[in-house]
Amino acid sequence: MAALAKLDGRVLVVGDVMEDIIVLPEAAMVRGSDVRAKVRNMPGGSGANQAMWLGSMHVPVSFLARVGAGDVESFRARFVESGVTPLLVGDDELPTGRLVTLVDVDGERSFFTDRAANTRLAVSDCPEEILEGVGLVHFSGYAFFEPGPRSVALELMERARRADIPVSIDPASTGFLREVGARQFLDWTRGASFCFPNAEEAAFLSGVDDVENQIRVLGAHYDLVVIKRGAEGAVAGDARGIRCEVGAVRIDVVDTTGAGDAFLAGFVAEMAKGSELEQCLVQANAAGARAAAHMGGQPE
């Protein structure tokens, strides 16, 4: 199997920064009563998680996002410490986004999201030189769900196209995808080099249930489609069908928050070496498993 094209430059990630409040109950939730649980405040946000995981894998990476003005310095220090070059813009009106994650006893998650300052990312936050030295521009799907950040994503996608820089997309949220519609999201992101949906996102965006046809349908929009299938592993392919499939890494799941973000980072980190597709999938699965084995969406 041929190796994927090696990245020529650093990765620019565009997405959300969130403060995660993670609730890990010891038993099933009882409506109207108490359940013992661990409750933790942790850094999060899909884009931030992806950048942090890339940094932990020693991939040169920068991260564009908007946070509450009072949080700029603390977040900047956190990213720098993790090997990420932060391109953070402070918002004087809205606070940093916050997310409450309820983790079920089987590790599955439900979210309550206040994106706050993330929704106000603007084209004016992107300097002309932002793509200098960039070999891949990656967008968390959350960048497309509000008009401001969507204008940034579409502008940067066009700049990347003119500069012949590949683009990757992680759809990020079936709930928000349903709000904008599959056709609209596919139109916004058409032509990207890579798309990394999970199984539910792939089914919604493609409109079909079997994974072979999901790959074929989405392969008409993207050069390579990589579907994260959790306990069933991962598959990758294009408009011709599945090119590669690997099994999952068996672990005791603690919290699946950030597992997909780590998967994405593992794939890109291996691709940066010029590895073959199968090896990229193997390392992506291993990274996702590491994330799911601890609490929180970022590297320990």
How big is the chain, counted in residues? Answer: 300
Give the CA dihedral 61, 153, 170, 7, nearest 10 degrees: -40
pLDDT bracket for residue 4 (50, 70, 90)? confident
Q: Cβ distance 49 to 298 under 8 Å?
A: yes
Its pTM stands at: 0.90
**% of the chain beyond a pLDDT of 90:** 73
Mean pLDDT confidence for 141-166: 96
Complete domains list, the chain, with CATH: 10-17+45-96+115-292 (3.40.1190.20)
Give the CA dihedral 290, 293, 297, 299, nearest 10 degrees: -50
pLDDT bracket for residue 250 (50, 70, 90)? confident
Q: Cβ distance 157 to 138 under 8 Å?
A: no
pLDDT bracket for residue 26 (50, 70, 90)? confident
What the block records as the tokens of 20 is 């995660």
Residue 1 has pLDDT above 80, yes or no: no
Mean pLDDT confidence for 101-105: 81
Residue 106 has pLDDT above 80, yes or no: no
Query: Percentage helix, strand, coil, to 5, in the chain?
Result: 40, 25, 35
Interval 273-290: pLDDT, tens: 999 999 999 999 999 988
Burial class (CB in 10 A: 0-12, 13-18, 19+), 284: buried
